[in-house]
């Protein structure tokens, strides 16, 4: 591929490379990348790499390649509910809207039909890696795995474990049957992808690692008996490569209920930790209201946070302090949380993550002003009483020589948003060694983004597309794509080098 490339590097930086040459090998991994190759140097650059007679895909001005999006949290069976039931908060929403829909997936034909469209829409939105929740049904979740496998998406797929505090018509009969079905799904997925241990490195450089992985999915602490949680913990400890996903501290009523179910434990995160479910391949969705000891515990375990801002706004759950988590060193990615969230696109999650960080910063500034106003005492007539001159405090200590980046109480800048959508999500999935950015040996999981007028998105309309697009103009395009782009601008979607979606994809 030859043209503009966007390459996330860290929480605070990404590369914008207007003239990049990137080579993808036969198993879909990146062979080499050369930057700053002018058009007249192209043949020489190829020859220098020993490439004669290779196909070069040349991007047009206004197009760029970037790593595919990682959706670290979504519910495939909730897709038919998108945009409905938003008057509820979490627990009522589950009972009135979500569980009735999920129960319908007992019908495998309904499941097949729905899941085909879910996976197609996810891929066409630019999601190359997706963490899916299914329902509690084994057969329907196997179908979801089959479809994801057939469509070529990279994914983690789990069936929900839920054996208490759910309606009679939508609950697993016992912890034993929940575990038996979970084992059956794991073996189905591992057979599909032809592996015994899916997260292990490829056996030879000619065989790419599998795309589809099973993931343990205790729905949340409320819906699992201690017996079920401890059986899942035992299963997890028998196989460290098994990923785990669950919900945590999304809503205040949910947190209060969890405390009544586990009264001897100090907090919500301790529930998962005490059952062996908190580790470096655990994905914790929402985390809106974590306490400082929970943040510390999660950081120590190396678990990741799936930030789901669309859902957190939509279900009035709150605003997650993502900046605090980043400063605490937590891994953070983005989740669409369909249908708590009303869009399957990570672009929408990016936009709402930006707004959420601004809301949090504005609230912080307001709290600070309120505190200062309260500190200024007034007499009965509303006249300010002059403050007593404070005793001078000693000079502050000099700042440490290496100051960590500070995200707390600030809006998230574009490089951070891009990171959350790609490399951050990859690290939450414990796959940052393989995906999330472009580097030699990493998988070519990528998007061809078309910001030109012919993509048909009027929100990105531009009077011209400068063929000699420089770095700054390219950075401007990236920002506009993140905030105003949509599926129409996602022209091609590759997973492991294979084109599997986008507007130019013809199944
Ligand atoms: N907590 C438990 N189940 C769910 C769910 O389906 N969606 C969300 N947003 N939170 C949950
Ligand atoms: Fe969720």
Q: Is the pLDDT of residue 422 over 90?
A: yes
Q: Is the pLDDT of residue 385 over 90?
A: no
pLDDT in tens, 73-127: 999 999 999 999 989 999 999 999 999 999 999 999 999 999 999 999 999 999 9
Residue of minimum CA distance from atom 8 in ligand 1? 340
Q: Would you state the pLDDT for residue 469?
A: 78
Compute the distance between CA of residue 401 and CA of residue 504 in angstroms, rounded to an integer.
50
Q: Would you state the pLDDT for residue 198?
A: 44
User: Residue 147's domain is classified under what CATH number?
Assistant: 3.20.20.140
Q: Which of 258, 311, 340 to mutate to test the pocket of ligand 1 (most atoms within 8 A of CB)?
A: 340
Local confidence band at 172 (pLDDT 50, 70, 90 cut-offs): very high
* Ligand lying closest to the C-alpha of residue 93: 1
Question: Per the domain annotation, does 422 fall within a domain?
Answer: no
Is the domain of 179 the same as that of 54? Answer: no
Is the domain of 44 the same as that of 91? Answer: no
Q: How remote is the CA of residue 94 from the centroid of ligand 1, in Å?
A: 7
Question: Per the domain annotation, does 351 fall within a domain?
Answer: yes
Name the DSSP class of 425. H
Q: Would you state the pLDDT for residue 334?
A: 99
Tokens of 281: 């391949």
Question: Per the domain annotation, does 417 fall within a domain?
Answer: no
Q: How remote is the CA of residue 23 from the centroid of ligand 2, in Å?
A: 37
Compute the distance between CA of residue 489 and CA of residue 389 in angstroms, rounded to an integer.
60
Is the domain of 100 the same as that of 213? Answer: yes
Q: Would you state the pLDDT for residue 194?
A: 86
Question: Per the domain annotation, does 363 fall within a domain?
Answer: no
Compute the distance between CA of residue 429 and CA of residue 306 in angstroms, rounded to an integer.
10
Closest atom, ligand 1, to C-alpha of 308:
9
Compute the distance between CA of residue 311 and CA of residue 115 in angstroms, rounded to an integer.
21
Closest atom, ligand 1, to C-alpha of 160:
3
What burial class does residue 328 get, using C-beta atoms within 10 Å of its C-beta: 0-12 exposed, 13-18 middle, 19+ buried?
Answer: middle
User: In percent, how much of the chain has pLDDT > 70?
Assistant: 92
Question: Per the domain annotation, does 188 fall within a domain?
Answer: yes
- At 487 the three-state DSSP class reads helix
pLDDT in tens, 440-485: 999 999 999 999 999 999 999 888 777 677 899 999 999 999 999 9
Question: Per the domain annotation, does 415 fall within a domain?
Answer: no
* Residue finishing a domain among 335, 355, 375: 355
Is the domain of 273 the same as that of 184? Answer: yes
* Residue finishing a domain among 314, 335, 355: 355
User: Residue 493's domain is classified under what CATH number?
Assistant: 2.30.40.10
Is the domain of 283 the same as that of 228? Answer: yes
Compute the distance between CA of residue 444 and CA of residue 296 in angstroms, rounded to an integer.
34
Is the domain of 262 the same as that of 159? Answer: yes
pLDDT in tens, 25-51: 999 999 999 999 999 999 999 999 999
Residue list, ligand 1 pocket, CB within 6 Å: 75, 90, 94, 98, 219-220, 247, 250, 311, 337, 340
Residue of minimum CA distance from atom 9 in ligand 1? 340
Is the domain of 38 the same as that of 90? Answer: no
Q: Would you state the pLDDT for residue 463?
A: 83
Q: How remote is the CA of residue 367 from the centroid of ligand 2, in Å?
A: 30
Is the domain of 149 the same as that of 253? Answer: yes
* Residue finishing a domain among 355, 389, 422: 355
Question: Per the domain annotation, does 474 fall within a domain?
Answer: yes
Is the domain of 51 the same as that of 133? Answer: no
Structural domain for 166, as ranges: 69-355
Is the domain of 172 the same as that of 199? Answer: yes
* Ligand lying closest to the C-alpha of residue 136: 1
Neighbours of 273 (CB within 10 A): 21
Q: How remote is the CA of residue 411 from the centroid of ligand 1, in Å?
A: 27
End-to-end CA distance of the chain: 22
As for how many domains the chain has, the answer is: 2
Is the domain of 291 the same as that of 344? Answer: yes
Compute the distance between CA of residue 285 and CA of residue 90 in angstroms, rounded to an integer.
13
Global ipTM: 0.99
Closest atom, ligand 1, to C-alpha of 340:
9
Closest atom, ligand 1, to C-alpha of 220:
2
Could you give the angle at the alpha carbon of 72 between the alpha carbons of 256 and 452, nearest 5°?
Answer: 130
Question: Per the domain annotation, does 421 fall within a domain?
Answer: no
Local confidence band at 16 (pLDDT 50, 70, 90 cut-offs): very high
Q: Would you state the pLDDT for residue 493?
A: 98
Q: How remote is the CA of residue 493 from the centroid of ligand 1, in Å?
A: 28
Q: Is the pLDDT of residue 400 over 60?
A: no
Say which range, 133-147, 279-293, 466-480, has the weakest mean pLDDT.
Answer: 466-480
Q: Would you state the pLDDT for residue 376?
A: 79
Q: Would you state the pLDDT for residue 205?
A: 58
Is the domain of 193 the same as that of 252? Answer: yes
């Amino acid at each position: 591929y030859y043209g503009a490339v966007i390459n996330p590097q860290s929480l605070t930086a990404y590369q914008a490379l207007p003239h990049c040459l990137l080579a993808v090998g036969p198993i879909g991994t990146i062979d080499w990348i050369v930057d700053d190759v002018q058009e007249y140097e192209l043949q020489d650059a190829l020859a220098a790499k020993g490439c004669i007679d290779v196909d070069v895909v040349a991007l047009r001005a206004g197009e760029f390649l970037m790593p595919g999006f990682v959706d670290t949290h979504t519910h495939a069976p909730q897709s038919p509910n998108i945009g409905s039931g938003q008057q509820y908060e979490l627990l009522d929403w589950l009972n009135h809207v979500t569980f009735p829909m999920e129960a319908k997936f007992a019908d495998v034909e309904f499941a097949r039909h729905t899941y085909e469209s879910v996976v197609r829409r996810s891929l066409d939105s630019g999601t190359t890696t997706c963490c899916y929740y299914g329902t509690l049904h084994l057969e329907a979740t196997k179908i979801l795995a089959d479809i994801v496998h057939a469509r070529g998406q990279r994914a983690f797929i789990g069936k929900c474990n839920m054996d208490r505090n759910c309606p009679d018509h939508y609950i697993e009969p016992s912890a034993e049957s929940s575990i038996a079905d979970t084992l059956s799904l794991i073996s189905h997925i591992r057979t599909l992808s032809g592996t015994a241990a899916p997260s292990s490195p490829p056996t030879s450089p000619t065989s790419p690692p599998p795309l589809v992985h099973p993931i343990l999915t205790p729905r949340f602490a409320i819906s699992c008996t201690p017996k079920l949680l401890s059986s899942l913990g035992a299963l997890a400890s028998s196989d460290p490569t098994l990923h785990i996903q669950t919900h945590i501290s999304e809503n205040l009523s949910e947190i209060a209920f969890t405390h009544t179910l586990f009264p001897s434990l100090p907090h919500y995160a301790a529930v998962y930790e005490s059952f062996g479910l908190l580790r470096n391949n655990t994905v914790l969705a929402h985390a809106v209201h974590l306490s400082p000891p929970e943040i510390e515990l999660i950081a120590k375990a190396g678990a990741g946070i799936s930030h789901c801002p669309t859902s957190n706004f939509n279900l009035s759950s709150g605003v997650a302090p993502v900046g605090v988590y980043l400063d605490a060193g937590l891994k953070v990615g983005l989740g669409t949380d369909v249908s708590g969230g009303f869009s399957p696109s990570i672009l929408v999650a990016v936009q709402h993550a930006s707004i959420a960080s601004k809301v949090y910063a504005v609230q912080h500034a307001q709290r600070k002003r309120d505190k200062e106003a309260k500190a200024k005492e007034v007499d009965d007539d509303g006249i300010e009483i002059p403050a007593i001159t404070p005793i001078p405090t000693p000079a502050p200590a000099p700042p440490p020589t290496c100051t960590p980046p500070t995200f707390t109480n600030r809006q998230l800048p574009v490089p951070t948003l891009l990171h959350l959508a790609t490399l951050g999500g990859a690290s939450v999935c414990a796959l940052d060694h393989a995906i999330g950015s472009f580097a030699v040996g990493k998988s070519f999981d990528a998007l061809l983004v078309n910001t030109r007028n012919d993509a048909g998105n009027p929100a990105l309309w531009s009077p011209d597309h400068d063929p000699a697009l420089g770095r700054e103009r390219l950075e401007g395009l990236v920002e506009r794509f993140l905030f105003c782009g949509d599926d129409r601008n996602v022209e091609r979607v590759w997973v492991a080098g294979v084109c599997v979606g986008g507007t130019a994809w013809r199944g």
